[in-house]
Amino acid sequence: MYMGGFKRTKIVCTIGPASHSVAKLKAMMKAGMNVCRLNFSHGSHADHRKLVRNIRKAADEVDVTVSILQDLSGPKMRVGDMGDGVKLKKGSTVVFSSDAKNKKALHVKYPYLERDIKPGNRILLDDGTKEVEVLSVRKTGVTCKVIIGGTLKSNKGFNLPGAKLSISSITEKDKKDLVLGLSQKVDFVALSFVRSARDINRLRAMVKKGWKKSDGIVPAIIAKVEKPEALQDIEKIVRAVDGIMVARGDLGIETPAAGVPVAQKHIIDLCRAAGKQVIVATEMLASMVDRPRPTRAEVSDVANAVIDHADAVMLSGESATGAYPVQAVSIMADIARETEHSKYDDIGICETGDVSMKTHRRVGALVGVLAQRGDVSAVLVSPVASDLLPQVVFFRPEVPLIVGHENQRVLAQANLRSGVYALPKVSKSQDGFLKHVREYAKRVGVKQSDTVAMIHKKGFGLDLHVGRLKDIY
């Protein structure tokens, strides 16, 4: 079913006007899309309800597990209505104000602007393409000198690098959006502009409070790392979350851009060691918004994220508003597969080096060895052993990890992990699981005569069974 064959690296796609139809979603799923991101910075609640319906309808028709990620907009600062655009001339002065009624200033949608900013601060506008320096601050507005000019259009981003913001990372809008997301039973909730582990703990408490036990496991929490404060508290944040999104767009504005690649690698290493999922995002194939082919640099960017051992790579404008959403998914999948077939994304078992590792981690290491040596063509993780996935994924075995469970939401959350093939049908028994494995194995290139390893739990112990797929029980 997968065009080009099974890939281990997952693809997250932002869904928007270019990709919201059932037909387009089905094409993207066949091309390799695994997770649909709903960006709550745009669209109404009615729009998002319709998107959820379309995604689930498309996934059902294609017969695949596709997860839904709700991305809360957070305290993103933007300028207000700029009409046809305001020209900022280098060397000139400009006044910004949080008061929309102040006709002598450009409006900024941030109520604490005059409180949080100080003379000498830099302000970056429109994804950092324009820059001003703060000269003076009054209650009525902030006077700035234009350092890098250009035409400023409505609703463009407004960043204050280094400034400590008074606003909470979870806004009133986020709270209302979260209620909608929970009612739609999203699989993941991503929080923007996380500054500390406390932000994650607050969100998790809100999710648990608003979640119905009858709906199964609660949505997993993803922290978007895009603030310098998050980098300073990154180890605690990784411990507090279920996964991380390396949101390189705002991170490259809020912190020196030259440090972003190293920060990306550091965050991925922390997540892998902790068994947490990690997504690399922003501008991965940005030129494909209006071009049918990516640049060579973009191809290298995607490949390097795979080599860094990210679980997933993400498309933003390319899939939401671009002219070539299906092609972008297909090309990203091709890059991932090609890189995965190389030696450069391999994890050597000796890299872990801990002979005293716990039993679960040892089982993961053994599975990794079997896969590296070519002894098995797939690893089957039975429904009762799905909690072992982080330990198995840790060693990135170069074969599909076929996972079954009686709860579709467990499968949807496992679906973000590298190498996992989450069965599209729930498995309520061991026999049902094996029936579904045999039914879907050919999708990931596994034959009935191939040797596979199956991880199963028996009481308090673990069972690792190796045999031909058609004979395994």
Question: What CATH number is attached to the domain comprising 31?
Answer: 3.20.20.60
Mean pLDDT score, 156-161: 92
Q: Phi/psi of residue 438, each to 5°?
A: -65, -30
Question: How many structural domains are present in the chain?
Answer: 3
Convert the pLDDT of each residue in 312-360 to its tens digit: 999 999 999 999 999 999 999 999 999 999 988 877 654 544 444 566 6
Q: Is residue 187 domain-shared with residue 316, that is, in the same domain? A: yes
Non-local CB neighbours of 46 within 8 Å, separated by 6+ positions = none
Active site residues: 37, 78, 224, 282
| C-beta separation of 35 from 59 below 8 A | no
Identify whether residues 234 and 335 lie together within a single domain.
yes
What is the average pLDDT across 5-33? 97
Report d(CA 348, CA 341) in Å as an integer: 15
pLDDT on residue 64: 96
- What average pLDDT does this structure show over 445-456? 92
pLDDT over threshold 50, residue 302:
yes
Chain-wide mean pLDDT for the chain?
A: 92
Element (H, E) at 403: strand 401-403
User: What's residue 431's pLDDT?
Assistant: 86
Residue 430 belongs to some domain of the structure: yes
Instruction: Tokens for 213, please give them.
Output: 């036990």
Written as six digits, the tokens of 454 are 């199956």
- Following DSSP, what letter does each residue of 426-455 receive, concatenated? ---SHHHHHHHHHHHGGGGT--TTSEEEEE
Residue 330, domain member (yes or no) = yes
Q: Has residue 2 been placed in a domain? A: no
In degrees and rounded to multiples of 5, residue 153 shows phi and psi of -105, 170
Run of H or E residues at 106: strand 106-107
Asked if residue 164 belongs to a domain, the reply is: no
Residues 200, 240, single domain; the answer is: yes
pLDDT in tens, 276-301: 999 999 999 999 999 999 999 999 99
359: number of Cβ within 10 Å: 11
Residue 106 and residue 216 in one domain: no
The closest alpha carbon to 4, from 261, 340, 264, 304, belongs to 340
DSSP 300-341: HHHHHHHHTT-SEEEESHHHHT-S-HHHHHHHHHHHHHHHHT
Nearest alpha carbon to residue 32 among 309, 279, 335? 335
Is residue 80 in some structural domain?
A: no
> Which of 351, 411, 388 lies closest to 462, judged by CA?
388
One-letter identity of residue 232? Q
Residue whose token pair is 């579709």: 408
Please indicate, yes or no, if residue 1 is contained in any of the structural domains.
Answer: no
Tokens representing 173 are: 């809008």
Asked if residue 205 and residue 261 are part of one domain, the reply reads yes
pLDDT of residue 355: 43
- The Cα-based distances of 442 to 62, 145, 251 in angstroms read 15, 63, 41
Query: Alpha-carbon distance 23 to 61, whole Å?
Result: 10
pTM for the full model? 0.93
Of 340, 359, 376, at which residue does a domain stop?
Answer: 340
**Same-domain pairing of 312 and 406:** no
Q: Which of 125, 159, 193 is the last residue of a domain?
A: 159
pLDDT in tens, 183-228: 999 999 999 999 999 999 999 999 999 998 777 889 999 999 999 9
Is residue 39 included in any domain, yes or no? yes
CATH number reported for the structural domain that contains residue 366 in this entry: 3.40.1380.20
Do 130 and 214 share a domain, yes or no? no
287 shares its domain with 187: yes
Domain final residue pick, 126, 159, 192: 159
**How many CB atoms are closer than 10 A to CB 139?**
9
How far, in Å, CA of 170 to CA of 168, rounded?
A: 5
pLDDT tens column, 111-137 = 999 999 999 999 999 988 999 999 999
pLDDT reading at 84 higher than 80: yes
What is the average per-residue pLDDT within 387-412?
87
Give the residue numbers spanning the domain of 102: 86-159
In a 3-state reduction of DSSP, which class is residue 348? coil
Give the pLDDT confidence score for residue 3 in this predicted structure. 59
3-state helix, strand, coil in the chain (%, to 5): 40, 20, 40
Residues 310 and 401 in one domain: no
Q: What CATH number does residue 120 fall under?
A: 2.40.33.10
Distance CA 330, CA 386 (A): 29
Expressed in angstroms, the distance from the first to the final Cα of the chain is 26
Q: Pull the structure tokens for residue 147.
A: 């350092």
For the ranges 7-16, 389-398, 449-458, the one whose mean pLDDT is highest: 7-16
Q: Bridge-partner residues for 452, per DSSP?
A: 378, 467
Which distant-in-sequence residues (6+ apart) come within 8 Å of 450 by Cβ?
376, 377, 378, 441, 468, 469
**Tokens 């390097």 — which residue?**
304
Give the dihedral sign, CA 394/399/400/402.
negative
Do 53 and 92 lie in one domain? The reply is no
How many CA atoms within 13 Å lie on the side-chain side of 458? 6
Percent of the chain having pLDDT more than 90?
Answer: 74
- Strands (DSSP E) contained in 200-252 are 220-225, 243-247
Same domain assignment for residues 229 and 297: yes
Q: Are residues 414 and 448 in the same domain?
A: yes
Lowest mean pLDDT among 18-32, 228-242, 348-362, 423-437: 348-362
Does residue 182 fall inside a structural domain? yes
Q: Which residues pair with 456 in a beta bridge?
A: 463
Residue 376 predicted with pLDDT over 50: yes
Mean pLDDT on 61-65: 96
Q: Which residues pair with 220 in a beta bridge?
A: 188
CA 404 to chain centre: 22
